[in-house]
Structure 1
Amino acid sequence: MKVGISSPILALAGKRPAWEAEAGTAEVVRVARAADRLGYEFMTCPDHVAVPPGLERGERFYDPLATFAFLAGQTRRLRFLPYVLVLPFYHPLEIAKRYGTLDHLSDGRLILAFGVGNLKEEFDMLGAPFEDRGPRADDALRALRAALAGRTVSYEGPYYSFTDMVVDPHAAQERVPLWIGGHSERALRRAVTLGDGWAPAPQSFRGPSPELMREMLDRHDLPDGFDVVLTPGERLDAVNAPGRVAEVIAMAERAGATQINLTVRHESLAHYLEQLEAFAEVAGLDAQAD
């Protein structure tokens, strides 16, 4: 079971510890370096351009591309997961160039996760079509797969088309993993047919329970190497309740997950880093010396 972190600081939603609101560059770097050293697979960053004030899901959203480009130079193994990019906001070639450059500079440490989006105010502000965002996203995923394939790329589809366009630099990985967010059966079908993994929201944000996740996955013939990400519906306390860590890992395995997106209880930066250390030890992650 691989484990990534649902990053603190980079997005503020709901009731969060006060230290996150006050944190800045130094704290973000310490979290990334700790996750890198302890053997965590990825760290996340959400994607919103601008949102209405008072939005329930929060108002602070670091830009994933700028954030990860900065942190790539501060880490060695940690992978970078925008969770999730709102696919209809971008042209596939735009993603291929910008995030492909990030993959190039980080020696192949990019994972891309996408959603079709649901905040209509943001679509309207950006001039992005809202009503056909589902089929538009499907075509964008096909176009993006072609655009990430190499230096000179072509694609022809109902929404996007390009012929012999040069993308240089481009992604270092031969196949950048494309994970699909969303909790619906439609999102899972999109992931199975067009992606490399399914990364639904946690149960607290309308995501499936572990039992429902298992039922949904059993209805599909999953491709080899297909990843499934489970975000536990609780903040784990590996320091004081290490036994619960083992229970959650076992639960994720029964649900069909291959990756856990971790959230932990914490009241300060020091406490957060202590929790990462404790979880890594219990879970047997591949920690390395500084």
Structure 2
Amino acid sequence: MSDNLTFGYAIPGYGTYEQPSAWKDIGQAAEEAGFETLWTGDHVTIPEELDYDEYQFGVPDWADISNPSLDVFGKFSYISAATDEIHMATNICIVPLRHPILLAKQALTVSALSNGRFELGVGPGWLRSEFEVLDAPFKTRGPHTDEFLEMFETVFENEGETGFDGEHINFRKTGFHPLPDEKPKIWVGGTSGAALRRTAEFGDGWTVVERTAEQVGHTRDRLMNAWTDYERDGVPEISARCRVHVGELEGDAPDVATVGDPENVVEDVEAYADAGTTHFIVGTMTDSLDEEIEQIHRIGDEILPAFE
């Protein structure tokens, strides 16, 4: 049994509960249950007409122009005031959708308000329609993401006062204050060669969703090649998100999910640890806040202790 696996909890990114306090309730429940990190995704807006040419999972269930979603940084700021120790991480923040200075400011603000409990998961994005609505650089989204990560490093190297002269990002010297004592941990999402290279060049860890343990292991081998190419010490952290439900589930489970009694769930999670996962992210499959809170505590009581 792995004794170095930590756990995160994936907050729903879309839809809403009747009261905004639900996000506080979820954050507090996850902290009480022993989760170390809260994660949530990021889309700034959902256009009416969407282009899924590059999306490998088919049309996602959140793809509706009327589907409510909160800004990820605002949501985490709210939750940080109601929690004490649990970290918060974007999984992932689509870098090119925001001006780089604004994005850095948002990340540093949540870090300041949470006393350094914020971690920044990034990626270049894939939804062309969203880029078009926001007049964001779709064709150069990869290089743009690289330059942002390089720029973000210079913010800390220059103690919060820096300029940047890149091909896609340019600005004169300006301030980024308040600056936390340490740069937020950087997670990089994606499975392409560019994503793995980006992880090795700029990241502390690699994050992925909806992949089997076997797929995580195969990609980890590729990631380690890039990690070695960049002469990085140690090994990268790896977070993998999987839907989890302890007990009987009404309806069908997604293709990548673990459902059943605690022993079966623990066995499935152990397979991810064996594949190189260091941080397992739990996504639930519930229809109400009460059911979600119940699952959070049940996973905390019946799954997490097996990995202590």
User: Normalising by the residue count of structure 1, what TM-score does the alignment of the two structures yield?
Assistant: 0.84
Question: Paired residue for 1:215?
Answer: 221
**C-alpha separation in 2, matches of 1:102 and 1:147:** 16
- Evaluate the alpha carbon distance shift between residue 246 and residue 235 of structure 1 in structure 2; reply closer, same or farther with a 3 A threshold: closer
**C-alpha separation in 2, matches of 1:250 and 1:88:** 35
Task: Tell me, yes or no, if structure 1 residue 168 matches structure 2 residue 177.
Answer: yes
**C-alpha separation in 2, matches of 1:208 and 1:137:** 28
Check whether the contact 2:95–2:103 (CA below 8 A) recurs between aligned residues: no
**Matched residue type, 2:39:** T
Which of 187, 192, 196 matches 2:195? 187
**C-alpha separation in 2, matches of 1:92 and 1:129:** 12
Instruction: Map Cα deviations across residues 176-209 of structure 1 (whole Å, 9 max, x no partner).
Output: 11111112222111111111111123138xx982
Question: Paired residue for 1:130?
Answer: 138
- Evaluate the alpha carbon distance shift between residue 63 and residue 223 of structure 1 in structure 2; reply closer, same or farther with a 3 A threshold: farther
Instruction: Map Cα deviations across residues 115-168 of structure 1 (whole Å, 9 max, x no partner).
Output: 101111111111112111111211111012222453323433222244542222
Check whether the contact 1:47–1:62 (CA below 8 A) recurs between aligned residues: no
Which of 160, 164, 176 matches 1:155? 164
Instruction: Map Cα deviations across residues 2-34 of structure 1 (whole Å, 9 max, x no partner).
Output: 1111113x324xxxxxxxx54431222111111
Task: Tell me, yes or no, if structure 1 residue 6 matches structure 2 residue 2.
Answer: no
- Worse overlay, 216-225 or 261-270: 216-225
Which segments of structure 1 move beyond 4 Å, counting only runs of 4 or more?
none
Which of 30, 40, 48 matches 1:45? 40
Structure 1 unaligned blocks of 5 or more = 13-20
- Evaluate the alpha carbon distance shift between residue 81 and residue 265 of structure 1 in structure 2; reply closer, same or farther with a 3 A threshold: same
**C-alpha separation in 1, matches of 2:69 and 2:189:** 17
Check whether the contact 1:84–1:115 (CA below 8 A) recurs between aligned residues: yes
**Matched residue type, 2:208:** P
Which of 68, 89, 109 matches 1:101? 109
SS in 2 for 1:277: helix
SS in 1 for 2:8: strand
SS in 1 for 2:118: coil
- Worse overlay, 105-114 or 151-160: 151-160
**How far off is 1:278 after superposition?**
2.1
Task: Output aligned runs, 1:50-129, within 5 Å.
Answer: 50-53=45-48, 56-57=59-60, 58=62, 59-129=67-137
Question: Paired residue for 2:283?
Answer: 263
Question: Paired residue for 1:283?
Answer: 304
- Evaluate the alpha carbon distance shift between residue 127 and residue 31 of structure 1 in structure 2; reply closer, same or farther with a 3 A threshold: same
Question: Paired residue for 1:18?
Answer: none
SS in 2 for 1:60: coil
Question: Paired residue for 1:31?
Answer: 26
**C-alpha separation in 2, matches of 1:286 and 1:35:** 16
**C-alpha separation in 1, matches of 2:136 and 2:272:** 36
**Matched residue type, 2:239:** V
- Evaluate the alpha carbon distance shift between residue 22 and residue 165 of structure 1 in structure 2; reply closer, same or farther with a 3 A threshold: closer
**How far off is 1:54 after superposition?**
7.3
Give the count of matched residue pairs: 274
- Worse overlay, 151-160 or 99-108: 151-160
- Evaluate the alpha carbon distance shift between residue 54 and residue 90 of structure 1 in structure 2; reply closer, same or farther with a 3 A threshold: closer
User: Normalising by the residue count of structure 2, what TM-score does the alignment of the two structures yield?
Assistant: 0.80
SS in 2 for 1:5: strand
**Matched residue type, 1:131:** K
**C-alpha separation in 2, matches of 1:148 and 1:114:** 18
**C-alpha separation in 2, matches of 1:28 and 1:141:** 29
**How far off is 1:224 after superposition?**
3.1
